[in-house]
Amino acid sequence: MNRETWPVLPLPGLTLDYLGNYLAALGLLRLATRKWPTVRACWQADHLSLVNGPQDAQALVDHLVEVASAGSWTEYEKGWDTAQKADTKAKSATNVARWQARDAREQLLPMFHAHLVAGQRLGFNPLLGTGGNAGKRSFSKGRSKAAGALRGGNKAWKPEAIASDALAFLSGSPCQCLADFGAACWFSAANKAFNSGVQRPFRDGQVTPWAMVLACEGLPLLSGAACRRLGTAGKGRAAFPFVVAAAAPLNASDAGRVMAETWLPVWDRPMGLDEVSVLFRRGRAELQGRAATTAPAFSAAIVHCGVDAGVKEFRRFLLLHTTSEQTFESRLADVVPVRDRRDQTMTRVTGAMMRLRDSLPPDRKKGDRWIVAGLRGPVDQALIEFAARPCAENACALTDAAVTALRKVDRNSGHRKKKVRFSLLPPEWAHHLVGSDPLTPEIRLALALASIRPTWKDSSSRPKMVTAPFLGYWLGAEPRGRSGAWMIPESVPFRRVWGGSDLTGNLVAVLRRRLVEEAPKADAPFDGPARVGLADVQAWLDGSMDDVLLTQWGFRFSLVDWTDGRPVIDNLIRGSTGDARGEGVSGTLALFALIKPLFNAGLAETVGATKPVRVGTLSRIAAHLDGGDLDEAVKTARQAYHAVGVELADIRAPLSSSHVSRLLAALMFPVATSQVAGVHSRWRSPKRHESKE
């Protein structure tokens, strides 16, 4: 089989660091196709390469000089300018639509469609300002000025220098023929450079005219598909390819600063002009059947759906106001790679996070000022960073952003009126949170707390939740059935007892609330699939754990639906539960092993109980411990054991502990049955062994 070898021409000057370079690469492909119809383009090592086109850079430069000398650039005149101004004043799109139907020349329409769309009102492509103007910068005038300079309009520039500049621009070398050409929105070098001088405090923009003419040559590819421009309800950002609304601001000072974003595709498979045109006409993303019109939705769509057409990554450029509200500059913010193999867990999590994000109260503009709720911004940023780098650190940051947003809504009566809804995350998400590092005692204990099972009461209509998962006690939210959907109601549920106390006080409040919610004759409501060892309990009792880290992981894990999470939990904690017996048993840990079986029906049966201890008795023990009366708590525990057929040794010495509150909180932890039973046996009455004759 014969294989054809195609020449490859790398162009290291057309890198992906600047929006203008990307536009210039599109323009160069359009111009090269005129002479080499089979030419293809791709991105390799962060710069453009032309495949099956010119043999060398000089042949390409000769073609560009020929186009510049003849002035045979794509027509770029704002023939719609008068109609646009009339529609802007009338707040309509009638005049532009009439101009497009009656007066527009056919060859000008691709450039027109790249600038604006006529719906009920005019919608502008943010990349091109307001129909081709960004403040005093007119892109069409800048292109005309640059094209004129290339045809000899600037007498200071010799033809040899202009041709040399074309080669220098494409190869990434310094250029000699420099001015601004109104290109500062796309090329940072075209901005004024300020210094500390007195006579001349700044230097004019320094960009070659080749950069401006090539960038404008690529604009017709930004027109998008005709179906997205039709209809009176068409909106500007949705009509143009790869242009989305900016992520919400992180703070009030950033509100309104970023006017839009463009996520430009980068492909490594050689594509011809027709293929690139199709890519840009299709230039949209969908998330769960809806167009992704915001930056976080676009990032979630990349994770959720993947990307076809040979795209390997997206370059995220911000279009932001800097020195003026009338103009903008572009800045590379992120590189978001596309992965061939989709992760279903990541897909479900990003979808759930987007639903939460859209449910949060938005920032809004009132007159000339912004009212910033500050809820969506951190979630947006975390979603984008996770899409770009899906590591454990960013997975934790995304979950923390959701926790912070939910807590802010919970603590604000105005936000609670919005009745924010969210869904719990799949249990496999825990693997993404933990990563490959071994589990710390804080992580194991947080997992045990978060996975404590709720209890339900059957009724004639539908089951009723009696005690909630750990989530319901630190967040004022209520479950909507058993589907994993939750809502923050307008009024704060009594169940939310988490307050400004330390972690120990909050855990004690949760334990006592769960006891209050249960009927006095019910079983203990503290069972769960994740169980910690006595070494972790000992670390909690003696205060050697990081309470802040434990709280943080507890909040993270409580956003996970552990209903069917037993396999994930077993995989996470396999071989990681420590036993404190080899290190000796402290007095407080021995007291824990004495009382804990009463707070777990299965554990009570293991130590010999004939029936479970009821909640009424547990409430009395908890009340004594909460009041610091350890002797009365142990006395009540002895009576409870006697009632269920377990006889303890008669120890009359007074008991004391400096960690009574932490002991009470620890009674809520699900623990390894065999370890507790081993220590509990020390409290049992010795049995007489009768000799056999």
DSSP 101-123: HHT--GGGHHHHHHHEEESSSEE
Predicted local distance difference test score (pLDDT) of residue 236:
55
Predicted local distance difference test score (pLDDT) of residue 692:
47
Predicted local distance difference test score (pLDDT) of residue 479:
92
Phi-psi region of 135 (alpha: psi -120 to 50; beta: other; left: phi over 0): left
Residue 80 has pLDDT above 50, yes or no: yes
Tally of CA atoms within 13 A in the half-sphere of 500 that contains its CB: 1
Residue 682 has pLDDT above 90, yes or no: no
CA dihedral over 643, 649, 653, 659, signed as positive or negative: negative
d(CA 143, CA 132): 11
Query: Per DSSP, which regions of 424-562 are E strands?
Result: 455-457, 464-467, 478-479, 485-487
Q: Which two tokens stand for residue 259?
A: 């006017």
Predicted local distance difference test score (pLDDT) of residue 95:
93
Residue 579 has pLDDT above 60, yes or no: no
d(CA 161, CA 141): 23
Q: Tell me the average pLDDT across 393-421.
A: 96
Q: Tell me the average pLDDT across 49-69.
A: 96
Per-residue pLDDT band at 599 (split at 50, 70, 90): very high
Q: What is the pTM of this model?
A: 0.90
Which of 97-101, 177-181, 203-207, 647-651 shows the lowest mean pLDDT across its residues?
A: 203-207
**Domain segments of the chain: what residues?**
1-226, 241-423, 436-683
Predicted local distance difference test score (pLDDT) of residue 198:
53
d(CA 283, CA 244): 11
CB 38 within 8 Å of CB 52: yes
The end-to-end CA distance of the chain, in Å, is 96
Residue 672 has pLDDT above 60, yes or no: yes
d(CA 79, CA 140): 11
Q: Tell me the average pLDDT across 66-74.
A: 95
Separation in Å, CA 646 to CA 40, 144, 614, 681: 83, 96, 15, 11
- Which residue bears the tokens 């990541």? 346
Average pLDDT, the chain: 89
Q: Tell me the average pLDDT across 164-182.
A: 91
Predicted local distance difference test score (pLDDT) of residue 25:
97
Predicted local distance difference test score (pLDDT) of residue 9:
96
Residue 340 has pLDDT above 90, yes or no: no
- Written as one letter, the residue type at 570 is D
- Written as one letter, the residue type at 217 is E
491-538 pLDDT per residue, tens: 999 999 999 999 999 999 999 999 999 999 999 999 999 999 999 999
Rg of the Cα trace of the chain? Answer: 34
- What is the DSSP code string of 529-589? S--B-HHHHHHHHTT-S-HHHHHHHHHHHHTB--TT-HHHHHHHHTTT---GGGG---HHH
d(CA 524, CA 621): 12
Strand partners, 457: 464
CA dihedral over 48, 52, 57, 62, signed as positive or negative: negative
Q: Which two tokens stand for residue 649?
A: 């040794």
d(CA 249, CA 292): 18
Element (H, E) at 318: strand 311-320
Predicted local distance difference test score (pLDDT) of residue 210:
96
d(CA 39, CA 272): 6
Tally of CA atoms within 13 A in the half-sphere of 660 that contains its CB: 18
CB 314 within 8 Å of CB 394: no
- What is the DSSP code string of 368-381? TEEE---SHHHHHH
Per-residue pLDDT band at 693 (split at 50, 70, 90): very low
Per-residue pLDDT band at 197 (split at 50, 70, 90): low
CB 220 within 8 Å of CB 25: no
d(CA 137, CA 215): 15
Q: Tell me the average pLDDT across 166-177.
A: 93
Predicted local distance difference test score (pLDDT) of residue 61:
96
Other CB atoms within 10 Å distance of the CB of residue 375:
26
Residue 691 has pLDDT above 90, yes or no: no
Which of 55-69, 534-548, 577-591 shows the lowest mean pLDDT across its residues?
A: 577-591
The burial class, CB within 10 Å (0-12 / 13-18 / 19+), for 684 is middle
d(CA 180, CA 550): 56
CB 224 within 8 Å of CB 241: yes
Q: Tell me the average pLDDT across 253-257.
A: 88
d(CA 183, CA 165): 17
- What is the DSSP code string of 137-149? EEHHHHHHHHHHI
d(CA 557, CA 578): 21
Residues of the chain with pLDDT > 70, as a percent, come to 90
d(CA 547, CA 662): 12
Q: Tell me the average pLDDT across 547-574.
A: 94
Torsion of CA 474, 478, 483, 484, to 10 degrees: -20
Q: Which two tokens stand for residue 269?
A: 């498979």
Q: Which two tokens stand for residue 167?
A: 């080669």
Predicted local distance difference test score (pLDDT) of residue 131:
87
CB 310 within 8 Å of CB 165: no
- Written as one letter, the residue type at 288 is Q
Residue 645 has pLDDT above 80, yes or no: yes
